[in-house]
A and B are shown apart, each in its own frame.
Chain A
Amino acid sequence: MRKVIKIFGIALAIALVTAACGGNGDTGTTEGDQATEDIQAGGTLKVALLSDVSAAFDPQKEYYSTTWGFYRCCLLRTLVSYPGLPGDEGGNELVPDLATGLPEVSEDGLTWTFQMKEGINYAPPFQDTEIVAQDIIRALERTADPEASANGYSFYYSIIEGFDEFSEGKADEISGLNAPDDHTLEITLTEPAGDLPFRMAMHTTAPIPEGAADGHVRDYGRYLVASGPYMFEGSEDLDFSKPADKQDPVAGYEPGKSITLVRNPSWDAETDEFRDAYVERIETTIGGTEEDIANKIDTGDIHINYDGVPPPQQLRKYQTDPELKDQVFAYPSDAVRYISFNVAEPPFDDVHIRRAVNFAIDKEGMRRLRGGPLFGEIANHVILNTLENDLNADFNPFPSDDSQGDPDAAMEEIKQSKYDTDQDGVCDAPECKQILAVTDEADPYPDQAALIQDNLKPLGIELDVKEFERTTMYDKCLDPSAHTAICLAPGWGKDYPDASTFAAPLFGAEGLGPDACCNYSLVGADAEYLKKYDYEVTDVPDVQDLIDECTPLTDEERIECWAEFDRHVTEEVVPWVPYLFDNNVDIVSSDVVNYTFDQFSGGAAFDHFGLVGGGEDS
């Protein structure tokens, strides 16, 4: 899985993956010009998926971008949604979907009103049922049900008045959700939240028809009633009149084996401004190996590998062959890869050491080991440029020639450190030896770790690198009692297009482990916390005030505030060495026209895909 796992707020990390070495030159996007041609509708899009979705399509449990991609393009409509386009074409901007327009907010910022389109019906067997405001409330009620909902969705909705009371069983309904009529939804909050529309674009708020999810606390995903242009094959055979345990799940989703989507006869293009839905059918096979799928893309048996990284040989072939070149697509996936210091663990409790490491790391080399420029843009600060309107695009407090590291500047920093007793620019204190470093055991992380070791050795900083399976690695980085001094392989992706998703979980107290996520650096830990986990350091940098300052702001002010936060964190706090703003790289078969990247899910947008000749000759 290469895509960013989106667990709200805690958005864990960029999953494994790699594309090893290769990928020479040719940075950025290779854009096909097919979009302008007339695209013939029809055909079957064949998709490969290495791993199954994480929670069998249950919208209140799914938290992988893979599933979000399927929901957005094909299965579920929400009040507002994303157009399935790259960021520079508006892919991060909300568009009305079930709603007629963006919501209206009251003066005090506490009441939001959505107006919904009329006459939109569900997919079979609910083809005669109109989607109404009450169905959104039903979805949020299911989100509040701790038994049906997983992965902390409620975190985003507890600002809705009465949400927590309903969740705890103290109320029969969520008082902050009102449907004055079938096509109006009023949401009352307990505190202002400028990003509520983003929260209402999450698919946990997608409408659920009355009775569909009853009795399917665990497995509604296999009985999912679609609202988008596609539905699971065999949806019309779902029989909700039977008791839930006597119902047969939908035929079009065989867990771990296949996902078959067919056109939803209820879907009307007239009501949907941004989904093209050219293809007639989307067949997804789950499993297999990247190598085998790469061959199938060559032969046209598969059109795209949705959750894999192209193997290096395939990439090399497609990049060098002029005829194949325009089948390679690279887009920023809105994630940053970085090295994380534990600011409470010597020697990284010293900001000079942290700065020295920032100077010393060969970021270009780090990127080369991931596959070169195709796989992203060198990162010099924490928050994605797209979330800051490029305000920090030129910000680079630790510059070096060609981003290959500046050992001299690094030594200058070391000289100022208390761990360099003779001030010769080489750390000589015992704290600099045998530093516990943790990394991922999968490629290319061990090679990257070796590069980092090489970069730091001249500074007298010697890492003792331990490799783990990725989830274990994250556990080791997160658990303060592990005293991991430096974590070499984490990644972070946005939850939704707002810079705040790069702040609180990463540098706020709420992200401190071991039970929360993902503040590996321990920035903002108080003395009590540090003592509890046996740290000798009693005082570490704290940015909570800055976070609180930016959170309530909106618009330009908000963005400028977060950009300032970014600069401060990167240069003064220095909890990370950010090195790469990650790209998503896809290779598609030559039958595909109008490949489109969806900035929201960080993967392909199937609602815009077409097939050559409408799939006639394939």
Chain B
Amino acid sequence: MGRYLIRRTLFLILVLWIVSVLTFLIFVKLPAGDPARRAAGTRTTEAQVEEARERLGLNDPIWVQYTRFAKGLVPWPGWFLNEQVYYSFKNFVPVKEEIFGRIPVTITLAVGAGATWLLVGIPIGIISAIRRRSLADRAGMLFALFGVSAPVFWLGLLFLYIFWFKFQQMGWPHAPGSGIPTGENLFEAVLAGRFVMPWIVLALSFAALYSRMTRGNLIETMGEDYIRTARAKGLSERRVIFKHGLRAALTPVVTMFGMDLGLLLGGAIITETVFNLPGVGQYTLNAIKTSDFPAVMGVTVFAAFFVVVANLVVDVMYAALDPRVRYS
């Protein structure tokens, strides 16, 4: 186990290194336009561009530049997203400050949505699987089809329009609108229900995927020989399904959940934009829109870090869940 973790961690470092090289090449060495010129702003004198070049360290040897850049990937005080590189040249805020200030919102969104889609998707999948071809199964799979096909952007606006705008106009109890009012902290925002619609909207497509996955896995599992064995032992059908069937059917679902959550922690761009939630995803979009390279680099590195760590966690979890997988 220990050796496995060490090896996985080394692998993680390798992946992050590759990410760092690619990101470095894309954003520092081969960007669309001279970073110094971009940092200096428009209509600048050569002296100003030169000054910006010096300030950004673009005159340093390439390995010095890379080291400075790559340090930003190392979770070490003063290194991680260091301000020398990861410092927005659009709004002059350290990228670290922005990301750390926004990550609580993103975590709240991701975890809440994750819980929602598990609580919705898995039960629907189970019911669909054990009542195959029943009305409930068809309804569940129709839901899944809708959830998978409905674009989050459209769905978010639709939810806002109906449950906030229309309900309010009708004088009915209505959902809170988008955004977090200034002066309201995250906890208050959650209590005020501001995350309910974003959770549902973000969770819907995942719930749909997870219900289909659960259904498929469970149907496959229920055809396994060991399920027949469990029945032959005289176990109740409930126990057969929930202990023997789900145990095997949900293992891949759980690991997929880890990956999806890891991805979302890097920012749920569309949901955060539609509901105007100040999370990492919204920051990412703004950074891209304004060609704010250090910020884009920062979120890339940050998201890569989350995804890779989520991968490791998932692999360890998988090994814990499935005894056939050895830490080797």
Contacts and interface: CB of A to CB of B under 8 A. Distances in A.
Direct contact of A and B (CB under 8 A): yes
A255 B93 contact: yes
Given A287-B273, A296-B177, 10 more contacts: A12-B42, A51-B286, A151-B42, A167-B47, A254-B101, A256-B98, A256-B282, A289-B273, A291-B161, A295-B165
Contacts of B220: none
A10 B43 CA distance: 7
Given A54-B90, A218-B87, A285 B182 contact: yes
Contacts, number: 124
A285 B276 contact: yes
Contacts of A218: 87, 92
Contacts of B92: 55-56, 58, 61, 218-219, 221-222
Contacts of B47: 146, 167-168
B82 to A, nearest CB: 14
Tell me the dominant secondary structure on chain A's binding face.
loop
A26 B51 CA distance: 52
Interface residues of B, number: 42
A154 B179 CA distance: 39
Nearest to B90: A54
A287 B179 contact: yes
A366 B278 CA distance: 37
Interface of B: 32-33, 40-45, 47-48, 51, 55, 87, 90-93, 98, 101, 157, 160-161, 164-165, 168-169, 177-179, 181-183, 273-274, 276, 278, 282-283, 286, 289-291
A271 B79 CA distance: 50
5 contacts: A7-B43, A167-B47, A291-B161, A295-B160, A301-B177
A299 B168 contact: yes
A257 interface: yes
B90 A55 contact: yes
Contact of A257 (B48, B87, B274, B278): B278
A61 B92 CA distance: 10
Contacts of B289: 51
Nearest to A9: B43
Contact of B91 (A7, A56, A63, A155): A56
A101 B81 CA distance: 50
A152 B42 CA distance: 7
A56 B177 CA distance: 27
Contacts of B87: 218
B286 A7 contact: no
Contacts of A152: 41-45
A255 B40 contact: no
B290 A54 contact: yes
Contact of B41 (A52, A63, A258): A63
B276 A287 contact: yes
Interface in A287-310: 287-289, 291-292, 295-296, 298-299, 301
Interface in A27-64: 51-56, 58, 61, 63
B48 A146 contact: yes
A516 interface: yes
A100 B181 CA distance: 40
A292 B91 contact: no
Contacts of A617: none
